[in-house]
Amino acid sequence: MSKFIVNNSGPLQGFVEVSGSKNAVLPLMAATLLTRDECRITDVPELMDVEVMCGLLRSFGAEVHWDMKERSISVKADSIIDTYAPRDLVSKMRASVVAMGPLLVRTGNAKIPLPGGCAIGDRPIDLHIKGFHALGADIRITKEESGHECVEASAAKLVGTEIYLDTPSVGATENIIMAASLADGITIIENAAQEPEIVDLANYMNKMGARIKGAGTDIIKVEGVESLHGAVHSVIPDRIEAGTFMLAAAITRGDVTIGNMLTDHVKPIAAKLRECGCIVENTLEGTRVSMGPNPPVATDIKTLPYPGFPTDVQPQFMTFLTTVQGASMILETVFENRFMHIGELNKMGADIREDGRRAFISGSAKLKGAEVMATDLRAGAALVLAGLVAEGDTVISDVYHIDRGYDSIIEKFKSIGGSIQRI
């Protein structure tokens, strides 16, 4: 299992470009199952999760070709031979669940072992199932001989309907949009998730001939069509990777310009950094993050579904706040267990107290290097940020979590002066 060694790097300086969005490319890949035609997706990030999704599509019978040099993936799912998502792939990546919607509406069946993914909460898929059931699917929970539970949805055809999501689940919104795109009639999704990745999916599917309106708002209307055709689409930049580099500039008191990002998508992160006294400017070549004349000040964070502050940048912002004079509080409202990084940061000398969904940080700690463990994708990224400012070596284990969601993270940090090695 590889590890990262990170050292105190001083203020990061320079220019770094973010890659295509992990959380956009995965549903875009699932959407290629909706047509027999060849589809192409460009600006694809080189991530382990993309590899897993390629495997998943192939297991259903799709032809998948990933040209890493060209950063493009082509998929042709003209004959789907299986609708059961293999456990070894699903257990690696919760996002596998978004293959259910396309499989169900294309073939009348979809079966998936109850998903795994990061250790950030039990992450049920009840809202996905509620959506499929509302569209007319029969739902069965079956037990495999291994004792694992599977959920199976089947329907001769799906019929459009109104669906209210109890929580604005990103994955459930994506799954229902895909299932409804080839259903009979109109589907209205209320309290839908509004993340930019959903807008990207709707834009791609509309290029394929779907009729989706309202993506990016909390009410999405999908008018079912007979069939979809192939299309080419470029993945939006990764706003969470962009936020991670914005925080890297802030925590190291550096001056970094981040290119290829869409400033609209990182508004909440920019707003909170400005509240702390950081300078965040949108320039021609990208977003420039530097420190103002005075030391940064503490602030409070409350994570919310988009357009609120993104939960996926909570660990990174918490790490920054451990180095800021004063008391901060973070309220994590999206996941019930996304504080696994607190113990690791406290090993490095941070002073963070956890109380349910609240974390109380008394800042201005001088972090010191330690042996720590990445507990999930974004917690791992937060530990890299901590290592960049800690005194002495920080050795991070279980970095496969980080490789799931960050393309060339070592090279990118080195390019702006980060001292980080993979061993």
- Active-site positions? 118
Minimum CB distance to ligand EPZ smaller for 169 or for 299: 169
Of the candidates 152, 200, 312, 344, which one interacts with ligand EPZ according to CB under 6 A?
312
In single-letter form, the type of residue at position 422 comes to R
In angstroms, the CA 288 to CA 134 distance is 46
Minimum CB distance to ligand EPZ smaller for 318 or for 377: 377
Distances (CA, A) of 401 to 1, 69, 248, 376: 11, 23, 19, 6
Residue nearest to ligand EPZ (CB): 171
User: What's the min distance (Å) between Cβ of 127 and ligand EPZ?
Assistant: 3
Per-position x/- string for 11-50, each x denoting binding to ligand EPZ as judged by CB under 6 A, each - no binding: -----------xx--x------------------------
Structure tokens at 55: 């495997």
Contact 377, 398 (CB under 8 A): no
Position 167 contacts ligand EPZ (CB under 6 A): yes
Of the candidates 29, 125, 249, 348, which one interacts with ligand EPZ according to CB under 6 A?
125
Position 126 contacts ligand EPZ (CB under 6 A): yes
User: What's the min distance (Å) between Cβ of 379 and ligand EPZ?
Assistant: 9
Of the candidates 40, 111, 123, 412, which one interacts with ligand EPZ according to CB under 6 A?
123
Minimum CB distance to ligand EPZ smaller for 324 or for 409: 409
User: What's the min distance (Å) between Cβ of 271 and ligand EPZ?
Assistant: 18
DSSP state of 70: T
Place of tokens 């290629």: 32
**What is the phi/psi pair of residue 105, to 5°?**
-80, -25
Structure tokens at 105: 């509406």
User: What's the min distance (Å) between Cβ of 86 and ligand EPZ?
Assistant: 18
Torsion of CA 300, 301, 302, 306, to 10 degrees: 150
Q: Is 145 exposed, middle or buried (0-12, 13-18, 19+ CB in 10 A)?
A: exposed
Per-position x/- string for 214-253, each x denoting binding to ligand EPZ as judged by CB under 6 A, each - no binding: --------------------------x-------------
User: What's the min distance (Å) between Cβ of 3 and ligand EPZ?
Assistant: 20
Q: What part of residues 322-361 is at the interface with ligand EPZ (CB under 6 A)? A: 334-335
Position 128 contacts ligand EPZ (CB under 6 A): yes
> What stretches of 252-298 show up as alpha helix (H) in DSSP?
267-275
**What is the phi/psi pair of residue 374, to 5°?**
-75, 120
Of the candidates 34, 105, 158, 170, which one interacts with ligand EPZ according to CB under 6 A?
170
Position 405 contacts ligand EPZ (CB under 6 A): yes
Report angle CA 267, 269, 275 to the nearest 5 degrees. Answer: 100
User: What's the min distance (Å) between Cβ of 253 and ligand EPZ?
Assistant: 26
Position 171 contacts ligand EPZ (CB under 6 A): yes
Torsion of CA 409, 237, 181, 186, to 10 degrees: 130
Minimum CB distance to ligand EPZ smaller for 367 or for 377: 377
Displacement of CA 20 from its chain's centroid (Å): 11
Minimum CB distance to ligand EPZ smaller for 193 or for 256: 193
Minimum CB distance to ligand EPZ smaller for 268 or for 405: 405
User: What's the min distance (Å) between Cβ of 381 and ligand EPZ?
Assistant: 9
Residue whose C-alpha is closest to residue 276's, from 366, 390, 364, 356:
364
Spell out the residues 6+ positions from residue 106 whose beta carbon is closer than 8 angstroms to its own.
33, 34, 77, 80, 182
**Helices 196-207 and 22-31, interaxial angle, to 10°?**
30
Minimum CB distance to ligand EPZ smaller for 330 or for 390: 330
Q: What part of residues 360-379 is at the interface with ligand EPZ (CB under 6 A)? A: 377-378
In angstroms, the CA 274 to CA 271 distance is 5
Name the segment binding ligand EPZ (CB under 6 A); options: 115-123, 201-209, 255-263, 270-278. Answer: 115-123
Q: Is 117 left (phi over 0), alpha (psi -120 to 50) or beta?
A: left
Residue whose C-alpha is closest to residue 138's, from 160, 110, 165:
110
Residues that bind ligand EPZ in the complex, under the rule CB under 6 A: 22-23, 26, 94-95, 118, 121, 123-128, 167, 169-172, 193, 197, 240, 311-312, 334-335, 377-378, 405
